Amino acid sequence: MNKPLRRISIFCGLLVLALLVRTNWLQYVKAEELSTRKENRRVQIAQYATERGNIIVEGTPITGSAVTDGSDYKYKRTYIDGTLWSPVTGYASQAYGSTQLESLEDQILTGNDDRLFFDRTIGMFTGEKKQGGNVVTTLNAAAQKAAFDKLGDKKGAVAAIDPRTGAVLALVSTPSYDPSSFAGNSKGDEKNWVELKDSEDKKLVNRALRETYPPGSTFKVVTAAAALENGIVQDVNAPTDTPEPYILPGTKTPMVNHANGCEKASLMRALEVSCNSVFANLGDKVGRDNMVKTAEKFGFNNDKIDIPVRAFASVYDKKMSPDGNAQSAIGQFNTAATPLQMAMVTAAIANDGKLMKPYMVDQLTAPNLDVIEKHEPQEMSRPVSGENAKKIQEMMVDVVEKGTGGNAKIKGSVVGGKTGTAQHGEGNKKRPYAWFISYAENPDGTSPVAVAVVIEDSEASRDDISGGGLAAPVAKAVMEAVLKTSKG
């Protein structure tokens, strides 16, 4: 071969090699990045080319699929009682993407998950069309509906958990939205989306998981746990050394009480009537660092609580001054919590001090209903000893039987609870949030439900906003629904 031909051959060989390297680079190294780019419509077209699998509650689908006319996308998502279930499902929209379970379990729902490879392969030979798998939730339909109906037109949220397992039983956020209203790609879908996106009521926000509030007096349960665990209080019926007025440490500012008889009140009495001074005093005696440790055992300051939807981190400040710590010990100052977090606090107390990791997906199934993944309950932490948990249960039952939580009483059942009215805004001038946390027991003493309710009701007068008045009846309805279904 002469020299010019040899050079051309080498050059052509290098071009072929470069092409092979480039092709393999795109196929194996850059494939995932390219396939997930927003500009790649083929991925979205494929995503809606087949019917999605369903999200299931108690054996019944709460989702579906419908044929779309005049579009590249063959199917669009449909929802049954969408406003009721959107805090659970999120949305799957041809135009606006997906959130929550629709997003996190998309591979299962579209049938693209590697664990469904065998089903897809068999379908190629049998001629069966590709199908998505299903997401089976832990939700209790009666509890979800009770929470949604009882909240009504109020702005708020409910989270309910089975303390024994961590299974989420209800997850409600109001005002809500119907994901079906913008599931397609039409002008009507766009109009509905814009209205929701720009809504002053923040309807697209899942308040149960993705909104934090000052927990107010419901946080006193955590402070009680810290005081007991650190030996500051041993006898819940013994007087404390709390003066009246109680002056915040390092200041001349008195802690205001909205109850009578708080001077030297016992822990039992202080929780019953919600004495701010007693819990501020106890928070100071426990100290900031030990308060932080107890709060974190309950789940505060944890930004990785996934159920599998990730909840915002609830906060107990690690760097505040002693007076800030005293105020935080009554659920004010910098303390902030999601409804899920306060349900977790209640669940740990109800479960004799053992906090189970919350979860909302019981199992994932193939199109033929074979189980491909099942959740096993997991212990998350032990925030409080069994002995001290029993003491706090006794105190919470006293709140319902004799104190501020009377609206949560359920005939024939033991109920423990704690009310909360959380101040907020500059100078605490905004209308406070109404909180209630509670649990109810079966006849055998086990608790199948722990619930947290928050209501941010801008229409009510200040005098009418209270955890016992507004939030406790909501919690009662949820607990009654669970108790009824748990008894079969």
177: nearest Cα among 150, 205, 203, 159: 203
Listed in order, strand segments (DSSP E) in 225-376 are 246-247, 254-255, 355-356, 361-365, 371-374
Handedness of CA 244, 246, 252, 254 (dihedral sign): negative
pLDDT higher for 20 or 26?
20
**Band (445; pLDDT cuts 50, 70, 90):** confident
Which CATH architecture best describes the domain 212-362+379-486? 3-Layer(aba) Sandwich (3.40)
340: nearest Cα among 382, 305, 301: 305
Lowest mean pLDDT segment, chosen from 37-51, 375-389, 402-416: 37-51
Q: Are 238 and 226 in contact (CB under 8 A)?
A: no
Instruction: Decide if pLDDT at 290 tops 80.
Output: yes
pLDDT of residue 443: 87
* Angle subtended by helix axes 386-402 and 220-229, to nearest 10: 140
pLDDT of residue 118: 57
The residue with tokens 């909205």 is 258
Residue 13, C-beta contacts closer than 8 angstroms, at least 6 positions apart? none
**Band (461; pLDDT cuts 50, 70, 90):** very low
d(CA 109, CA 101): 10
Is position 217 annotated as part of the catalytic site?
A: yes
For residue 187, how many other CB atoms are within 10 A of its CB?
8
d(CA 329, CA 292): 10
Lowest mean pLDDT segment, chosen from 60-69, 143-152, 321-330, 426-435: 426-435
For residue 209, how many other CB atoms are within 10 A of its CB?
25
Lowest mean pLDDT segment, chosen from 52-61, 307-316, 416-425: 416-425
pLDDT of residue 387: 98
pLDDT of residue 16: 85
Report the pLDDT averaged over residues 350-371.
Answer: 95
**Band (462; pLDDT cuts 50, 70, 90):** very low
Pure H helices in 48-105: 82-89, 100-104
Instruction: Decide if pLDDT at 125 tops 70.
Output: no
pLDDT of residue 288: 97
pLDDT of residue 430: 63
Instruction: Decide if pLDDT at 356 tops 90.
Output: yes
pLDDT higher for 143 or 131?
143
d(CA 349, CA 374): 27
d(CA 258, CA 19): 78
| pLDDT, the chain, mean | 90
Q: What does DSSP say about strands 75-79 and 168-174: parallel, antiparallel, or unpaired?
A: unpaired
| pTM of this structure | 0.89
**Band (429; pLDDT cuts 50, 70, 90):** low
**pLDDT 10s digits, 191-214:** 999 999 888 899 999 999 999 999
In degrees and rounded to multiples of 5, residue 158 shows phi and psi of -135, 135
Handedness of CA 314, 318, 319, 323 (dihedral sign): positive
209: nearest Cα among 134, 61, 99: 99
Query: Residue 153 is encoded by which pair of tokens?
Result: 């037109």
**pLDDT 10s digits, 108-119:** 999 888 887 556
Lowest mean pLDDT segment, chosen from 25-34, 85-94, 457-466: 457-466
pLDDT of residue 464: 45
pLDDT of residue 425: 46
The residue from 180, 217, 274, 438 that is catalytic is 217
**Band (312; pLDDT cuts 50, 70, 90):** very high
Q: Which residues pair with 417 in a beta bridge?
A: 438
